[in-house]
Amino acid sequence: MLLQANLPLIAILRGIKPDEALEHIAAVIDAGFDIVEIPLNSPQWEQSIPAIVQAFGCKALIGAGTVLKPEQVDVLAEMGCKLIVTPNICCEVIRKAVAYGMAVCPGCATATEAFTALEAGAQSLKIFPSSTFGPNYIKALKAVLPPDIPVFAVGGVTPDNLSQWINAGCIGAGLGSDLYRAGQSVDRTVRQATLFVNAYQEAIR
């Protein structure tokens, strides 16, 4: 499965709780998002992820982030999760997710890590933390990567700088604290999601 979407922006809702997940995820999907990630260091993700798969699995690619262990992939596959996002390169995690037919977007920083992930079967890559390396670094890294591999900038992406990452060759970005911070209101989630959607549409004109 390839990481395909109408809007190549990943909504990362780190820290969201089960009793608020549905409302916030409905908000980002209504704004135009169709990739959603709940990191596994969020409270009671074992409840949130199945609930949002059931509620929104037909509208969006529902995924889990901060996936570190192969056995977590087994649990997530049983929940109906379709996307695995990692902060690092663990070939066993990548291979297991691919075997389940999941989309995999592992985090990498160097060419060695990127090619290791691709050899294990990853269909896309996230450069993390992007803000540390900058757009010029990603542009240089893209020059040696296969041209058909989607690259996402993750870490420090805002509506104001999203165009820099797109211009550097990223297909899109993963959006964390500038989109959602634990405990924020649904109204803020709506505002930030709309800003990001508008920024992306402006960046690709």
- For 184-194, how does the pLDDT look when each residue is reduced to its tens digit (9 = 90+)? 999 999 999 99
Compute the average pLDDT of residues 124-133. 96
Beta bridge partners of 37: 12, 63
Compute the average pLDDT of residues 7-15. 97
d(CA 75, CA 162): 33
Residue position matching structure tokens 């989309």: 103
Q: Which pTM does this prediction carry?
A: 0.96
Compute the average pLDDT of residues 170-188. 97
Contact criterion met (CB below 8 Å) for 83 and 37: yes
pLDDT of 111 strictly over 70 = yes
Give the three-class secondary structure for 64: strand
Catalytic one among 17, 37, 59, 119? 37
Residue 129: asked if its preceding bond is cis (omega within 30°), the reply is: yes
* Catalytic site includes residue 142: no
d(CA 78, CA 50): 9
Task: Say which residue, 141 or 3, is predicted with more confidence.
Answer: 141
| Backbone conformation region of residue 110, classed left if phi is above 0, alpha if psi is from -120 to 50, else beta | beta
Residue-averaged pLDDT of the chain = 96
Catalytic one among 82, 96, 126, 142? 126
Compute the average pLDDT of residues 42-68. 97
Compute the average pLDDT of residues 161-184. 97
Confidence of residue 5 (pLDDT cuts 50, 70, 90): confident
Compute the average pLDDT of residues 124-134. 96
Compute the average pLDDT of residues 102-125. 97
Contact criterion met (CB below 8 Å) for 140 and 165: no
| Whole-number pLDDT of residue 46 | 98
Of 124, 183, 182, nearest in space to 154 by CA? 124
**Burial (0-12, 13-18, 19+ Cβ within 10 Å), 181:** middle
* Catalytic site includes residue 113: no
